[in-house]
Amino acid sequence: MTLALDRRLLLKAGTLGLGALAVPGAAQLLAARGFTHDVASGEPRADSVMLWTRYVPASGDAARLEYQLSARPDFGSFVARGVVTAEAGHDWCVKPVAGGLEHGRVWFYRFVDSAGTFSPVGRTRTLPEGPLDRYRIGIFSCANLAFGWFNAYAHAAGRDDLDLMLHLGDYLYEYERGKYPAAAEALAGRLIEPAGEIVALADYRLRHAAYRSDPDLQRLHRRFPMIMMWDDHETANDSWRDGAQNHQPETEGSWAARKAAAIRAYREWLPVSENSWESYEIGDLATLFRPETRLAGRSRPLSIADATRGQADVAAALSAFRDGPWRDPERTLLGTEQESWLADGLRRSVRAGTKWQLLGQQVIMGSTRLPPEAAGWMAPDVDQRVRNAVEAGLVASRAGLPLNFDAWDGFPAARERLLRSALEADANLIVLSGDSHNAWAFDLGLDGTPAGVEYAGHSVTSSGYEAFLPRVRPDDIVRALVARNPQLQWADTSRRGYLTLELTPERATGEWLFLDTIRERSTTLAGRHRMSVERGTNRLA
């Protein structure tokens, strides 16, 4: 959530929530046989693509499958084919890479078992090479199955004008039933599996199975290749390299074991690279960098509560915190190795003549402070936890501190290093972000120099400001936020949906699409908003 100061309190209290999506029960998920979860593709390159399916045989510990890839939907001829084995040790998931392909082409693929039974047919696309006039990406984040229908996935899956899907994390959530959303706010009969919080490998696998049973998510994966990376909820809330807010070692065991289980299940169930960070060349139009911002290099998170605990002079404590720990150059979100990889990649991309440098990552980079008007956003009967969170945000803002220490705002020295590397490379930097549940557009600058722009996408289902400040007009919230934060050019804090990015050699255009509901299945749009950046300006218009 955007109000990171409040997220832990709100989630603990179960004060947010809209509903839950019906999925088969755990027994049905575990008993399914054959091709249990459709097909998917990812990790596209100019000459290859990764294919995925899950196949559970009626008996035995392994099953031989053939994958087939064709330029024709009737599979009259094959361009690539091979044999893979589905095994219990990998939860019956397979993800072969089909190579030797022509760049920039649409391909059709399927799997077939030893009895001649076929999987559903998937459609995918290799990345283009050379000069390119246009490319379109669909961008998603924060899809909590229990909050409602995945209408954003359904809408995007029905389009033919998108080339690639990018998922920026929170593909699933780890909480037990009744926590996020609260049980009283859940849609009747729509349950996540397993019922408890996921901690062990079997838990994470079953939660993936529940999410991947959603028909709209299945169709999106079936029709488009997807590049993706986890955020925090694929492991546990507000995770970092050595722990998480929602991990209690005394009752849930070691963090290292839980993290390893979550990563293993994620890499089994999705068509993703085994590498924690990757880059992708989209012809001469863009280099897409896909970093890892959670589990590899992220330093322990800071908080206002820790900075002021036991301090008689709160103002002095916050000043010391602002000038000391918060600005500590040793604190990192990516880690030293990954920072160097990204800086080198930006330089190489620009030297190669690539038009745009895209950073598809998880958390907001633009700086946000809570406006003084927020004091009037709270009704007299507002939940005490919300009141405490808003009051803490106001105190932080008066001290020159940001709202969300879980985002790049909590790592200002690391952010400065990244933006400086973009400036030194003369990059046309576009940062793509998720995590916050709300829609944002930022101009990113360093010492008064434009360094890039940020398109931050809203959530598929997870709730935003509207859930805990329901009596305040969203336009009033946005107006105050934009006035308080010079980098912020536009925002929407109340609607769900997804983001698209259209690239041309001279202009990049982001479009936020807002679905009319997540309480019922619908692909009706309630609105949209577009903003562009001209190459060479690093400013939104």
Listed in sequence order, the residues at least 6 apart from 521 whose beta carbon sits closer than 8 Å to its beta carbon are 149, 151, 154
Predicted confidence (pLDDT) per residue in 30-88, tens digit: 899 999 999 999 999 999 999 999 999 999 999 999 999 999 999 999 999 999 999 99
Q: Report the pLDDT value the prediction gives residue 381, as an integer from 0 to 100.
A: 80
Predicted confidence (pLDDT) per residue in 160-183, tens digit: 999 999 999 999 999 999 999 888
Residue 262: how many CB atoms within 10 A of its CB?
A: 27
- Tell me what the mean pLDDT of segment 216-223 comes to: 98
Into how many domains does the chain fold? 1
Residue 57 is assigned to a structural domain of this protein? no
**What letter does residue 92 receive in the DSSP assignment?**
T
Residue 296 is assigned to a structural domain of this protein? yes
Predicted confidence (pLDDT) per residue in 439-467, tens digit: 999 999 999 999 999 999 999 999 999 98
Using a 10 angstrom Cβ sphere, with 0-12 exposed, 13-18 middle and 19 or more buried, the burial of residue 324 is exposed
Longest dimension (CA), the chain: 77
Name the helix (H) or strand (E) containing 475. helix 474-484
Residue 315 is assigned to a structural domain of this protein? yes
Give 387's pLDDT tier (boundaries 50, 70, 90).
confident
Q: Report the pLDDT value the prediction gives residue 294, as an integer from 0 to 100.
A: 97
Instruction: Give this prediction's pTM.
Output: 0.94
CATH number at residue 434: 3.60.21.70
Residue 39 is assigned to a structural domain of this protein? no
Residue 196 is assigned to a structural domain of this protein? yes
Residue 480 is assigned to a structural domain of this protein? yes
Q: Is the pLDDT of residue 196 over 90?
A: yes
Q: Report the pLDDT value the prediction gives residue 380, as an integer from 0 to 100.
A: 82
Torsion of CA 386, 196, 226, 149, to 10 degrees: -60
Give 12's pLDDT tier (boundaries 50, 70, 90).
very low
Give 184's pLDDT tier (boundaries 50, 70, 90).
confident
Among the residues of 241-327, which ranges form H helices?
249-252, 255-269, 304-308, 314-323
- Tell me what the mean pLDDT of segment 357-380 comes to: 95
Comparing CA positions, the residue from 218, 203, 164 lying closest to residue 37 is 218
Residue 442 is assigned to a structural domain of this protein? yes
Q: In what order do the strands lie in the sheet with 449-456?
A: 278-282, 286-290, 356-360, 429-433, 449-456, 439-446, 488-492
Q: Report the pLDDT value the prediction gives residue 49, as an integer from 0 to 100.
A: 98
Q: Which residues pair with 98 in a beta bridge?
A: 49
Residue 441 is assigned to a structural domain of this protein? yes
- Tell me what the mean pLDDT of segment 236-258 comes to: 98
471: helix, strand or coil: coil
Domain extent, residue 21, equals 4-30+128-237+275-534
